[in-house]
Amino acid sequence: MSKAHDASAAARRKANEMLTKKQDNERTDARDKQRQAEDAKIAKLKALRLAKEAADKVAREAAPAPAKRSGAARAR
């Protein structure tokens, strides 16, 4: 009976190890997918920000410069 108990315990231990490895792999895969999604989101936001900054720069350069007042006009 001791041999049967030892074999059963060994099989149970091996099954638990396999399950733990599987769960660890699933957690790692989920974490990697989440990081990829976050990286994609950050890249998208950065591209949008850079595009907005470029558009703002073009708009500033295309806008006419405000007329400067001379010193005599302010004294009046």
Series of mean pLDDT values for 10-residue runs along the chain (76 residues): 84 94 95 98 98 96 77 57
Cα–Cα distance measured from residue 29 to residue 35, given in angstroms and rounded to the nearest whole number: 10
pTM of the model: 0.57
The helix (H) or strand (E) run that includes residue 32 is: helix 2-62
Confidence at residue 71, expressed as pLDDT on a 0 to 100 scale: 62
